[in-house]
Amino acid sequence: MQVKNVAFIGLGVMGYHMAKHLAQKGGHTVTVYNRTSAKAENWIKEFGGRSASTPAEAAKDQDIVFACVGNDDDLRSITLGDNTLGDNGAFSAMSKGAVFVDHTTASASVARELYAKATKLGIDFIDAPVSGGEAGAINGTLTVMCGGDEAPYGHVEPVIASFAKACRLMGAPGAGQLTKMVNQICIAGIVQGLSEAIHFAKKAELNVEDVVSVISKGAAQSWQMENRHKTMNEGKFDFGFAVDWMRKDLDIVLNEARKNGANLPVTALVDQFYAEIQNMGGNRWDTSSLLARLETGKT
């Protein structure tokens, strides 16, 4: 694979490690930008490359610009600047033919909006949210679901492979974000079901480990069961994706469902359950903390 000049904007829980794999595993020349500059400086000390003072500076002369930020507004800010097409936005500095790859979990509408703005400037935009959590970012085993045009996707897919075990173009601009919404719908229902199952097993005075060892060999098996049942059973909820983040994602899902007419009663209910977890002070607990709600009698 040809070495690329790439930038990575947003060195949070996910981005810090994704950028690391681009430099170490991919061997690419990496420029980083982070709103908190100290984190960018720490990244440089660990992995080399250089840091930039603005998204525009980071994006200048790059083949690919990656981003992983918080939400739609953050994404508009780093791409368009403080004002539309302002001096600090990455789009204003990108070369024609360069590709912007957005790993933020955001709305499909903002993906389509930025795709349209990028196209007018002669640059390409791929929405590419990820699944796999912090562990997947650390280990370089993320799943990436993309929306956009085939030609630029073909250019970036081998580079994305630096931090992903699977990557697929799902369709037109916004299709990556819509696929991520499907992913979060599945997770919400599965985690609630697993929480109820463990809660029931305890009330029935069964050995949870023995129960899981049996049912995980059959149709009930899931990633959540394999990777979270032990910590859930021990009442430990500081692993993986935080409740605050899940609520942000489910808000995106439910807003999209209102637009397309999808009926999501279980997802809406689980979103309410996560709101109760927040009220319990569990904002930063991981998503498996739905069990804590059951065990405190909040049903």
Tell me the pLDDT tens digit for each residue of 76-109. Answer: 999 999 764 456 899 999 999 999 999 999 999 9
Q: Is 180 a catalytic residue?
A: yes
**Of 89-98, 208-217, 232-241, the least confident:** 232-241
Check whether 190 has a pLDDT greater than 60: yes
Catalytic residue among 4, 20, 117, 180: 180
Asked whether 66 and 103 are in contact (CB, 8 A), the reply is yes
Asked whether 276 and 298 are in contact (CB, 8 A), the reply is yes
Which pLDDT belongs to residue 83?
Answer: 61
Which pLDDT belongs to residue 1?
Answer: 60
Q: What is the mean pLDDT of residues 19-39?
A: 96
Which pLDDT belongs to residue 298?
Answer: 59
Which pLDDT belongs to residue 85?
Answer: 47
Check whether 266 has a pLDDT greater than 90: yes
Percent of the chain with pLDDT over 90: 93
Q: What is the mean pLDDT of residues 223-246?
A: 94
Asked whether 146 and 169 are in contact (CB, 8 A), the reply is yes
Check whether 170 has a pLDDT greater than 90: yes
Asked whether 30 and 8 are in contact (CB, 8 A), the reply is yes
Partnered with residue 29 across adjacent β-strands are: 5
Q: Where do the domains of the chain lie, and which CATH numbers do they carry? A: 5-173 (3.40.50.720), 179-295 (1.10.1040.10)
Q: What is the mean pLDDT of residues 147-155?
A: 98
Q: What is the mean pLDDT of residues 56-72?
A: 97
Which pLDDT belongs to residue 240?
Answer: 80
* Exposure string over 60-87, b if 16+ CB within 10 A, otherwise e: bebbbbbbbbbbbebbbbbbbbeeeeee
Q: What is the mean pLDDT of residues 143-167?
A: 98
What is the bridge-based pairing of β-strands 50-51 and 29-33?
A: parallel
- pTM, full prediction: 0.94
Q: What is the mean pLDDT of residues 173-193?
A: 98
Sign of the torsion angle spanned by Cα atoms 278, 279, 282, 284: positive
